[in-house]
């Protein structure tokens, strides 16, 4: 799992007593397939929990990804998008998507190793600085 969280938020999320029931529910065996992917976004996007660094405005998921279901995607058209990423694929569920993303990733890494830097035309960190959660948080 990848994320940017404040230290105080992580401490409260993992060690805090108030969130214990939520954590217990999410970590029940076989209850949620990827509890880590559910736990931290749930906390980070729930301003009522008042965790340090949590978002004050949580946009609807479709406004964040602006994509339809994966089978309708054409990776050749979306790989230049600077904010494209895949959190997790399961080889037994969508092997073609996994293969395409893996190839794209290793081509990008090889180019970065060769040039000594990332492609600034293909990756703009300002996209992340302008996100609601980056600008408006507790």
Neighbour-count burial of 13, counting CB atoms closer than 10 A to its CB (0-12 exposed, 13-18 middle, 19+ buried): buried
Q: Which has more confidence, 58 or 136?
A: 136
Q: What is the pLDDT of residues 47-75, one digit of tens each?
A: 788 877 778 776 555 555 544 444 444 55
**Residue spans per domain, the chain:** 1-54, 59-138
Angle at CA 81, nearest 5°, toward 74 and 130?
A: 140
| Cβ(1)–Cβ(37) below 8 Å | yes
Name the band, by pLDDT with cuts 50, 70 and 90, for residue 1. very low
């Amino acid at each position: 799992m990848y994320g940017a969280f404040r230290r105080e938020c992580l401490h409260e999320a993992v060690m805090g007593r108030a969130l214990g029931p939520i954590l217990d529910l999410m970590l029940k065996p076989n209850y949620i397939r990827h509890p880590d992917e559910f736990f931290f976004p749930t906390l980070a996007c729930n301003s009522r929990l008042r965790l340090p660094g949590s978002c004050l405005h949580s946009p609807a998921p479709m406004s964040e990804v602006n994509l339809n279901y994966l089978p309708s995607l054409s990776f050749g058209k979306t790989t230049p998008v600077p904010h494209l990423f895949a959190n997790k694929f399961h080889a037994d569920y969508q092997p073609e998507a996994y293969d395409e993303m893996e190839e794209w990733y290793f081509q990008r890494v090889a180019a970065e190793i060769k040039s000594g830097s990332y492609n600034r035309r293909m990756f703009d960190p300002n996209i992340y600085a302008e996100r609601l959660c980056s600008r408006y948080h507790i």
